[in-house]
Structure 1
Amino acid sequence: MSTPKPPIPITLLTGFLGSGKTTLLLSLLAQLPTPPPRLALLKNELGSLPVDSILTGQSALAGTKELLNGCLCCNLVGSLEDGLRELLEGSRDEKGEYGLDRIVIETSGSALPATLVVELRRVCAVLNNAVEVEGVISVIDCENWTGYADRSYTAKLQAEFTDLVVLNKWEDGGERKVDEVRDRLGDVLKEDVPVVKSNYGWVDVSLVFGIEGKKGQEIEGSVLPHEREGHRHGSHEQEVDVLNVGLPVEGEGTLDWEWWRENVLESAQKDETFRIKGWGLVREDGVTKKKMLNWAFGRWKTFDVDGERDEADKGVVGRFTFVLAKGEAPRWKYRLQKKLKTTKVVDGTGGAIQVDVVA
């Protein structure tokens, strides 16, 4: 009689907007041995653009599933089971067995991990316990967390409901900033949870994968943190606005990246703008490139990918998702429409550009 295979462990990676979850995940993937274990990623984004998934897609993953335009613990909660099924079914080997060694679920920056674990427990049972929640990891942006934790109960609950806290982006503030965050965490954490510092987003993979977490097993029949504090399910969605911005153009124009950087990226205030993600077609050294953008709290990184337009992107030179403080969407919409209406931001054969903003 064959020995049944153990459940495939699920690592739940949480953290507020811009905390560095994807950077941490990339550092973990880079540390996997050769040949690497078969690891699949289920990625959730509030907006419509899978920028982080493009980054992780360049790594050695056995499968990737994107869930866009919402939050896994609220309006996309029913998609979790379908997403996991798709990853599992796509991994079957010649014997018909699931071929994954681990699944990582990277949540949106607004997800409540306790609510998500409840749903995961249900899905695990439906899938005949082929998977199980191994650990919940919370990533904290030390540079900004003490500020938005004051006005975001989601950020506090993410820090509370975890098996491991990773302190990220602490280097500029030094040990003084680390001590400040640790003091604040002492008011949030209800038990002795390990806290580690990253090294510019790097943490030893053995600390994250294989952690003997308790959060995936201990919540059955208990009161969830947000219920204890009197919050209704889904109310965290009221903390942010999301704008999906398209930049249409006639012909084969490109985005004036210098104008976009000076008039949008550098002018965005981090107390009202949490994230800007997306891509723009730019012309550099006579070559058209698709430049991906990842902006968080005043800092950003770019990387180039294949500059060819996808069929769905014909007639546009850029698409961006803005994740904003609640109430900022109307002001950003007006600001973008005004700037883009009065300024030629497309070079090449394109003409004046207009912004298409969808809340």
Structure 2
Amino acid sequence: MSGLSTSRTARPPVPVIVVAGFLGSGKTTLLNHLLRTAGATGTRLGVLVNDFGSVNIDALLVSAQADGAVSLSNGCMCCTVDADGLADALTSLVRPSAKIDAIVIEASGIAEPRSLIRMVTAVTDPRLRYGGLVYVVDAAHIHALREEHPEVDAHMAIADLILVNKSDLITGADLRTVEEIVAQLNPTVAAMVTQEARIDPALLFDIDESAGTDEPRSGQLTLDELLLEEHDHSGHDHLHAGYEAITFRSDEPLDPRRLARFLERPPSGCFRIKGIVHFDRPRYRQKFVVHAVGGFVRVSRESWAPRTPSTELVAIGRGLDAEAVNAELQAAIARPEDAEDEHGILGVLRHVPD
């Protein structure tokens, strides 16, 4: 097992988010929305697609193209890739000079979602972690889609986040029917009703709050910010609606076995879990940094200095039961008899990369 984090992994591992959905569902719209909002938050995205032409990334976001890579005006990077080159492309995007904060893979044409997830989770680079499967559903045509492509049910069943998109094109009664279909296929998934695939990027990956726009700026707006102004007439606050972030804090150490159970089987509606954990176990009193999405768990170990050991975990999703989440984590606080479980720490250590 690995020891304390080294300088090579000082930055948090970059989440690799898989975006899937059938033609016309809104995947490209979601990609463009994430790219437009990235510049305003100081976030740098890496996007992997099969073909620039088929994805049709907004022309005004593109500043230069060479050797299968496009540099975007907001500092993001877009690359063409096939299944064989996926691992190499991911590793290239997390090189130190790229300074990428998150990577989004557009699944069409590369592989079936399940196969693509396997490929992403098989990449052993410690600078990367699986960031979840986001499945975009065309709510206006879901019945015809399921009839023509029965495999869509299997896709939704393994998704970590489902966007019920184009909700403005159907009635409220029809929308409720679509939500019921999603709930039947994937009872525990975090599902969000969207128009134009507009979601808060903070649901998918961490935003650098220090790069916010509270302070006055001088000079011209970047092209992505102009696009954001053009397409967003209702203010920024609505982007933060629709999901919850529940924070749990404890100065008492946690039991690793019960915490591992919580991370591997997250609460209904939970998309991801992140934070730091304190275990008061001999040889394992370091700071454990955890990232979990859809039952995929990634753990690293670091020094507590200069802060005092404690636990702080955040569960992010939609429709979360705050009381149930807090109760389950409260139940994970270590008890005196837990000290006799000498192998309990293995539940967490198996998620630490070699």
Give the structure-1-normalised TM-score.
0.49
Give the structure-2-normalised TM-score.
0.50
* More helix, by proportion: 2
